[in-house]
Amino acid sequence: MSSQTTNSYVDLIKNGIFKENTIFKLALSLCPSIAVTNNLRNGVLMGMAVLFVQVMVNITVSLLRHFIHPRIRLPVFMLIISGWVTITDMTMAAFFREAYKEMGLYIQLIVAFASILARAEMFASKNRVTPSLFDGIGMGTGFLFALSVISFFREFLGKGSLWGFPIIDAKPLLIMVLPAGGFFAVGILMGFFNWIEMRYAKKQRSS
């Protein structure tokens, strides 16, 4: 592997985390980003589930891209996605029982994530397996990162704990664990990330 291609893989991952971050930049999949992020554990597990599904779907679609007839590519992508989501769903039900009880419904909803179908259609169906794999890792990690940050702030501010362990003996901002707080957290963090990016872009231009 030449350094040229290594670089492009790193770029693919960076692209998913920063430039095209599903939640902070594209504002997609906001429903789960509010619904399951009132504690850190659920946020991280949801992010990992999406990361896994995105990577597996990208690999599968990329492997099958010459086999799938273009006229039926979307139904086939949906079948692939729902297959992987069902596998994730059953595995989580078996091994992450406690978390699954609270977020089982949202795991099944991964089927309907626009971002996963979009990456399959726009990237994986046109690229070889390795770049598709890295694209999946990038997009999935971006989602995991966003959900972790949101749920970190929501659990800490709303319950004074992290991952279920009490950190401070107070509930500074109870509203953060309620649904309304989810909108505040997502909105404020989205603004913050865009502000950082604007500053970064300005600095690059002036130098």
Unique residue bearing structure tokens 């997609």: 28
Site map 176..195 versus another protein, x via CB under 8 A? -xx-----------------
Contacts with 71 (C-beta within 8 Å, 6 or more apart), sequence order: none
Contact between 94 and another protein by CB under 8 A: the answer reads: yes
Segments in 36-169 forming alpha helices (H): 40-63, 73-95, 97-108, 114-119, 129-159
Angle between helices 3-14 and 129-159 (to 10 degrees): 40
Q: Between 22 and 88, name the residue whose CB sits nearer to another protein.
A: 88
- Looking at 10-18, 79-87, 109-117, 124-132, which segment touches another protein (CB under 8 A)? 79-87
- Looking at 27-35, 77-85, 113-121, 134-142, which segment touches another protein (CB under 8 A)? 77-85
- Looking at 17-25, 65-73, 119-127, 162-170, which segment touches another protein (CB under 8 A)? 65-73
DSSP letter string over 41-76? HHHHHHHHHHHHHHHHHHHHHHHTTTTS-GGGHHHH
* Contact between residue 15 and residue 7 where contact means Cβ atoms under 8 Å apart: no
Residue 85 tokens, joined: 């989501």
Binder among 13, 40, 55, 80 for another protein (CB under 8 A):
80
Contact between 68 and another protein by CB under 8 A: the answer reads: yes
Contacts with another protein by CB under 8 A lie at 38, 67-69, 71-72, 75-76, 79-80, 83, 86-87, 90-91, 93-95, 97, 101, 158-159, 171, 174, 177-178
